[in-house]
């Protein structure tokens, strides 16, 4: 069954995002081999050219590299991966804050809600 993609963004950029998360979360291990273009395309139910483009983008950012006859691999440079992780995290936070703001919450209110949620989860875990 094909993956779900959102309608209003190019698929390749959504794929870039998805792949970055897989790298950052360790699903694709540093130095590990990535699925081939065709495999990934078939799996995700998308055009192989799209996968190619996404790979190209990631390679430009230095997260993956191509080894001539063996395929594509995740970088072993943990710094690169760490900074990608940070980038994704800041992006998430920005989106979250923007969302909350559009709901009408002020910044300090948001912080308070976060703390309360944290305490609530800890309490639940202890009981």
* Binding of other proteins by 95 (CB under 8 A): no
Rounded distance, CA 47 to CA 108, Å?
Answer: 45
Question: Shortest gap between Cβ of 72 and other proteins (angstroms)?
Answer: 17
Question: Shortest gap between Cβ of 41 and other proteins (angstroms)?
Answer: 5
Sequence-distant (≥ 6) Cβ neighbours of residue 2 within 8 angstroms = 44, 45, 46
Question: Shortest gap between Cβ of 31 and other proteins (angstroms)?
Answer: 28
* Binding of other proteins by 46 (CB under 8 A): yes
Per-residue interface string for the shown chain with other proteins, residues 2-21, x marking contact by CB under 8 A: x--x-xxxxxx---------
* Binding of other proteins by 41 (CB under 8 A): yes
User: Dihedral of the CA atoms 18, 40, 55, 77 (nearest 10)?
Assistant: 70
Q: Which of 30, 48, 56, 62 binds other proteins (CB under 8 A)?
A: 48
| Paired strand residues for 66 | 72
Binding-residue total with other proteins (CB under 8 A): 20
Length of the chain: 127
Rounded distance, CA 18 to CA 109, Å?
Answer: 31
Rounded distance, CA 59 to CA 74, Å?
Answer: 9
- Per CB under 8 A, which of residues 52..91 are in contact with other proteins? 53
For other proteins, the binding residues (CB under 8 A) are 1-2, 5, 7-12, 38, 41-42, 44-50, 53
């Amino acid at each position: 069954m094909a993956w779900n993609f959102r309608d209003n963004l190019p698929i390749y950029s959504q794929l870039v995002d998805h792949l970055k998360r897989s790298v950052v979360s360790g699903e694709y291990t540093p130095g590990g081999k990535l699925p081939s273009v065709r495999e990934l395309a078939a799996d995700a139910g998308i055009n192989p050219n799209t996968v190619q483009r996404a790979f190209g983008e990631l390679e430009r950012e230095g997260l993956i590299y191509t080894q001539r006859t063996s395929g594509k691999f995740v970088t072993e440079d943990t710094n690169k991966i760490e900074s990608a992780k940070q980038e994704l995290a800041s992006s998430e936070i920005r989106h979250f804050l923007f969302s909350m703001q559009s709901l009408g919450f002020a910044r300090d209110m948001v912080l308070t809600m976060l703390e309360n949620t944290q305490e609530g989860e800890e309490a639940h875990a202890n009981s």
